[in-house]
Each structure stands twice: as structure tokens, then as C-alpha cells.
Structure 1
Amino acid sequence: MTQQIVLLSATIFGALSIIFGAFGAHALKKKLTLEQLTSFETGVKYQMYHAIVLLVVGFNFNQNLRNASLLFIIGTILFSFSIYGLVLSDAFGKKMKLLGPVTPIGGLCLLIGWVLLLINFL
């Protein structure tokens, strides 16, 4: 894990969260139920939050932040993208249930990343 990978991940996650947020708010608004739209928005929010965190961590990157950065990247992919997959597959009638357990694993990765960040600060 390098500083460049962390910063590239941050910018990609940030840009995609804008795209997915607009897609959800406009293109999917008529296709998704309120519950599905809320879930989709949760994925977008968490993706953007962690894009911002990765920018901060990336600009202050050192080897002590390597594992936290890695967990933020993996966690964001598993958490947010599994939500997108679950919501979209459900909305189009072919729910991918195998993604269900992926979301909490992603959330756990994010949480551990935050704990490692805390330990680094202490």
C-alpha cells in the first residue's frame, strides 16, 4: 500500500459517489422503493465519508497508516458496492442474496480501520 494508491482510491471513490448519488436520485428514483433508495443512499454516504478519510490519511500517509488505509479501501468496496448490488438486483427482480453477508464484512473492515487509526493517534 502506497500513498499514491490511497490517494487514487480516495479520488475514485469520491467521483463514483457523486455519480452513484446522482444516478440514485434521478435515474433510479422511479424504479426504487423508498427503502431501497434509502439503502442506496447509505452506500453512497459511506463511500463519500471514506473517500474523504482516505484523502486525509493519504496526505498524511506513513507506514503506520498502511493497514487502516487498506481496510478503508477494502471495507468501502465490500460495504458500499454490496449495497448497490443488493438494491439494484432486487429492484430488477433478481436479488443477489449472496451479497447479503458481504455488507457486514465490509462494515467490520471499516470499523477495524477506524480502530487502527485511533491506535495510531494514541
Structure 2
Amino acid sequence: MDVFVFASVVHTLVLPMKSPTRFNLLAAGLLGFTGVALGAFGAHVLKDTLAAAGTLDTWRTAVLYHLIHAVALVALPGWPWVGRCWTAGVVLFSGSLYWLALGGPKVLGPVTPLGGAALLLGWTLLAWHAFKSPRE
């Protein structure tokens, strides 16, 4: 799914919308920048190294989740806990995958599901906020 279509769907489903919080916009900017940079770095500088180690798909998964949540933060209304969960989730989930793809210690493997749980909690909170919002 195109990330712009994704952001539009998220934006439409959570009406009535408030403006994104400063934290969400700052996190979106930082995560978007680092996601694009790490995606390019993996595709151009590390591609052969990651492919030889068999971790190129792991890197790509990290970049995908990283960028999806950066875009989602832009579309997110002023619900700070959703943004905090997504930001922590990206740092833990994608961060641990980047580390593992680069051959980091396997002891960080258990961090990945914690990051995934934070991402899922953020999506659950988003649905809860949408459900409890006044209907039009």
C-alpha cells in the first residue's frame, strides 16, 4: 500500500481531527529522516554485506515499519500516547532489527517483540480513541 494512501486512510478514519501534537510532528520528522537515510544506506552501502549475511530482508522490514509509522505520526491527531507508543515501538522494533541485521549480539533479539508490542498498543489506542470520539 502506498504510504500516502495509508496516511489518507488513517486521517479519514479518525475524524474529527485535531492537529498533530508537537511531539508527534517532531518524531515524524526525525523518524522520517532516519528511515529514508537508513533505507538508502542499506540499499546502496550495505546491500552486498547484508545480502552475504542473509539479513537484507531483515533490514528492509525494519525500514518498512520505520517509515510507515513516521508517516502515520503526521496523520495522527493530538493523541500523545499513540505517538509515544509508535515512536518507542519504532526505536525498539526497527532499531533492534537494524542492529541484528548488522550482526549485533543476539541478546537484543527479545527487544524486537517488545517494540512490536508497543506498535500494536499504539494502534489499539488509536482505535479506542476513534471509537470513543463523538460520531458525526
TM-score relative to the length of structure 2: 0.77
Within the candidate set 23, 26, 35, 1:5 is matched to: 23
Asked if 1 retains the 8 angstrom alpha-carbon contact of 2:23 and 2:80, the reply is no
2:49 counterpart SS class: coil
The code of the aligned residue for 2:85 comes to L
Within the candidate set 76, 81, 85, 1:71 is matched to: 85
Task: Say yes or no: does 1:54 pair with 2:54.
Answer: no
Shift of 1:33: 2.4
Of 28-37 and 11-20, more deviation after overlay is shown by: 28-37
What is the Cα-based RMSD across aligned positions, in Å?
A: 1.4
Within the candidate set 79, 82, 96, 2:105 is matched to: 96
2:47 counterpart SS class: coil
- CA radius of gyration, larger in: 2
Question: What corresponds to 2:33 in structure 1?
Answer: 15
The structure in which a higher percent of residues are helix is 1
Shift of 1:66: 1.9
- Gap regions ≥5 residues in structure 1: none
TM-score relative to the length of structure 1: 0.86
Question: What corresponds to 1:120 in structure 2?
Answer: 129
Within the candidate set 39, 48, 60, 1:30 is matched to: 48
* Percent identical residues: 39
Task: Say yes or no: does 1:44 pair with 2:63.
Answer: yes
**Off by >3 Å, runs of 4+ in structure 1:** none
Shift of 1:96: 1.0
**Superposed CA offset, 1:83-112 (max 9, x none):** 111111x1xxxx311210000100000001
